[in-house]
Structure 1
Amino acid sequence: IPVQLPSILGGGQPNFSIIGRQRIELSGRSEWTDDQIRTATNRVSRFPSIAMKQEQQFMVTGNIGQKIAVTIQQDSQAFSDLDNRIQIRYDDRMDDGRDGNGIIKRFEAGNVSLSLENAEFTGYTDQHSGLFGIKLESQVGGFSFTTIMSQEKGEGQSANFEAGTQGSRLQIRDIDYRRRTYFFVDAGYRENFSRRDANGRHLADADSIESIRVFVASLTSRQDLAMLRKGVAYFTPPISVDGGLPSSPDTLTETPESADFRELQSNEFLVDRNLGYIALTTPLQAQDVLGVFYATRNRLTGQRVTFGDVPIVNDPENETKLRLLKSRNERAPQGTDLDNPKRWGTWQYEWRNVYFLGKTAINPDGFDLKIFKKAPSGANQDVDEGGVPYIQLLGLDRRGVNPGSQPDRLVDIDYELINFQRGELIFPDLYPFAPGLLFNEGASVAFPNTQIDGLNDQTSELYNRISTTINNNIANFNKYYIAVEHKDRQAQYSLGRSNVIDGSEVVKLNGRKLVAGSDYIMLYEVGQIRFLTEEAMDPNADVDVNFQFAPFFQPASNTLMGFQSRYDFNDRSWLRGTLLYRSDKSLDQKSRIGRETGRSILWDLDTRLSFDPQFMTSFVNMIPFVESDVRSSLNISAEFAQSIPNPNTRGDAFIDDFEGSKEETDLGVRRAGWVAASPPEVLNHVQRGRLVWYNPMEQVAVTEIFPTREVIVQDSRQHVLTIEFDPRTPDLRWGGTVDDAFLEEWNQDATAAVRSRWGGVMRPLTGATIDQTRSKFIEIWVNGNEGELNIDLGSISEDVNDNTVYDTEDDRSDGFGNKL
């Protein structure tokens, strides 16, 4: 811009740069169905509905002379108003970068910030953003002044958390073990499960699984028919020893399951070949059938035994024969078999001692687990009547930190007990909350030395009842619960607020202020902070974050004004005074508690005095054998502040103003919602004139009914109900004969009998509506200047033709009237 500016602005010429873009999108859309019937309230138009979308983004930067800089930033897609910025800044600086000699050193208008160094009690020692107004900095001799008048567009908030970890707590009921996931492939492996060595490790069975194929028949999931095999799963399948002829399957112990089976891929299950069990990646459904074909080899003799038979070619005529691990319907033990797992058939194969801990890939550091017994009253206990912790009685705590030490009331971090990767707790006993079931089959608990005999108060129903029975008797069967707590290392945290104001955050780690970019990255739009250093990942580190955010809705208008004066005695000593005024004006006409109009005044005095007293050095040199030539220094810092608040200038506030508590019953204007009216009490059916009611094809503009209402385009038109009444024509659509009064001409001077011709519509108020005894007003908008409109409310007969018989008026779809 070729205009020479005065020297007060630094001389030179204005210079501006504009960068931006604008996008206008126009689209149309039309939907219809061929042969769709047009009605008054459902009209089909093939004319497209037009939509226009406009986006614009631009930035203006430049200077007016050498001392005034201008920045304007506007984005129609911005998250908040604070993302659209305007800043005008005047800096009294010389060409070499030093401050000028003018009284006004700096002037800012638009988006400004406030920082009052060392004034700790004011709360504005760090950068306070989100302000819109003006700020002036000036200097006269040794005095410097800062003045600000602004509105706060943001709100302050803080967050405190332990860096490097995020904790979670979970309670798991004893009845919520993981169902239909873990299965033994043979009863022998189940009975061997309790055998352990001196170190508590499982002892492997003599027979290990050499190969295994797993098959599932499902009724609920979609499956590729080409991948299915026709097969039968037996409790005891055909068995072949060292390649000999297979034996005949057992069809008596348990009914075989015939189904179409799908073979699971290797990534759909895990297998422990020594302990003889499989763990499915996805639990089975209740109606699924599970079968396996496998071979074992004896470590001592080398004997190979094959269970089942799977033809090489998938031929429907040659069925696959499998060992049945789970039948289609849950077959719980019955009668005398209830308390002896050896007699449970296929029911014994499923594990019921595994509990999901809420998530996978758990960090063992910071993991804690306790077991509590529910108390009828008072606090739940984690120890039994003898003071022994339940985690010890259940085999989860058998030693301290060092091997061979006594239990320490902490769960052992034993990977046979806790699978941190899968997020599972595996009790060492198959029936942890009913150890008596083990004793009934001649077994014992896993660690008798520390578990003793396990729990005294047992619930065997958890293991010999189907899940439906257990869930229907939770009050009786749920006696214990598992409390789990774990902390996971992470580098990113949520502050609980979005639209964090750029640059407003102050992050401190153990009291030390962190630097953005090198110590952390702030994602302002979503309100997340990501730490970059190992120090911040220390689980014992303490992090404080203070920040401002732009709320989507601001219920108050906040004004901040302040003045600060400082006098410098020298470059190390000063005296400063601060005065701040803050006003929070509620935008509600009736202020609610917590949103009252308030104001506060705060004044603050602080000083720092720094001396180099020679007498202190001389005094030290008077001490024998001590001589110093280092200059002594004495620093004195002091601050005093007082706040004068008035949190409620009006002196009152509303707990609830009951605005918007109006209850309405919309009777509607759709034609189908109204039917012909029964005669009023003082009139009869034969006096009925012809009346028709309908919805016009064209809707009416809302502003014709409510001239002052503001409406958007898609809600700008309204259906209406048009009622046309002809008193000259009798209405015999509901039976009856013509009244003699219709023989006379209807006019204003006619007899009372002639003028008593009527017509009407009615509709019910169903039982689902609100209690109408509390209703006070009825609102109806009528466009018409002839006739007389009467409204009846209350108990109204449905006898339209007044023949004292409910013909079809009271006939519901089921053929029974409701006598309304």
Structure 2
Amino acid sequence: MIMAAVASYAITQTPQRPQRKLSVRKTRDAAPQRDANADANANRPDTLAIKAQPKLENEDSIPDSLLHPRWKIQRTLPITLDDLDQNAADLKRPDNLKQDVVYNDSLDRYIIGSKISDSYINAPFMMTQEEYRKWSERRMMNQFFRKKNDEIYQAKGKEKFDFTDMHFDLGPAEKIFGPGGVRIKTQGTAELKFGATMKSIDNPSLPVRNRKTTTMDFDEKINVSLNGRVGDKVNMNLNYNTDATFDFDAQSLKLKYDGKEDEIVKLIEAGNVSFPSNSSLVRGASSLFGLRTDLQFGKLKLQLVASQKKSSSKSVSSKGGKQFTPFEIDAANYEENRHFFLAQYFHDRYDESMRSLPNLTSGITINRVEVWVTNKSGVTSNTRNIIALTDLGENNRVSNNLWGITGQPVPANAANSEYAAMTSQYAAARDIDQTSTVLDGIAGFVGGSDYEKLERARLLNSSEYTVNKALGYISLKTSLQTDQVLAVAYEYTYGGVTYQVGEFASDITDSNKALYVKALKNTSNNPHQGNWGLMMKNVYYLASSVEKEKFRL
């Protein structure tokens, strides 16, 4: 009966193709029903095939619960279009049973039906292009909303416990703060790296407990933002970024209350606030940290702020293509561990020698210098064992009373008795393995303060430092580390006489013997050291490029 109904529908709906004939095998019961349906369909537009269904035999005797069940179950033999869709109570289709949609260009119809292999198991449905479009659109919309409904069901009850988006009800407090409840949203990243650095320095000149050091290394990167709302009146924003360019951007906290139009309190802000001004006579302010409030009493409006200003303004003037910028330098920000006097004599006469610039009146000309530092680069060329003596060559005053001043007018090895004692009485100290034993045996002579022992000290190249030959100081191209030792040997001419402080590498040809040199900086440099005054504290870094013209200090 169904097959006859579908076939008759196809015949009545294709009058425009008379050249194609379709033979239909009719059953005895279906023939009179086909005529009735054909007559009814002749005078109305195309409709779905299901609308041409014949009345089932003994349909009046079928209970309504079978025709229209409360819980719909897919029929094995489809009668309506709804039977093509599976419901939740339906069993899964077998793997060899598939539902196909085929377009027949001869009939200009879409054919929908269930197949096993290549054969239909029942009469398929036929649809025009418009009918198929509406049916497939409705089917896809149902699937879309069913999927969305399933997602909401799966996430039901989890919204309140999501750390990134928490929501709570206010209850009776909504009368104060307004509707919306409490909403807190967080987003961002946090990264923490930590480790340990262990250093072992096999330097006999250092105390045993200072040869091994362990330090903790921490590195954190945090970029977190938090937004909170209480009703529709109170907002809170919190930002924390360790990689921010400016300090006031690194931490930002703002609590805001917005009042209604008819309330006295219009606005309350706490944290990072700004104070704009509508007048050109009074300048506003930004980058403030404090409290701000806007009030209104009738026609009187008040803006009040109590805060700390965390920004500053600078002005730059230019003239003739040049930029003039005023600047300030803290007197304590001098270049540390880079510039050193060769002796106390040059330190004491520095100002006097500079009195008649550009002419220097020191009367001294330094001929040659050898500069030694602690070897941390691991190079093996241009290295020697050295013993750096703090009071070597000092003619005015010595830090250790063991050595007497001989009355020399300028620094020299013979200016005090230390060099003579080291080369005669304590000559065994040249053996670097015996240095600590010999020198520590001198009463009141302390290692690290009165002398430094360096194995394989590195001789600096002339390109690594500069020497002021008249004023008697050297300037290193790079700063020394705090635990490095700096020592020199130099020769100069004064009043036609040549003087020498320390020993050059060519003076002692035996490389196994240590050199006695002048210590400009010890391992632990502090104001109690005898050579603390040799480090220059009047040299400052201004900028990468400064022109001499019109420069004023």
Specify the structure having the higher radius of gyration (Cα): 2
User: Per residue, is there more helix in 1 or in 2?
Assistant: 2
Higher RCO structure, 1 or 2 (CA under 8 Å, sep 6+): 1
- TM-score between both structures, scaled by the size of structure 2: 0.31
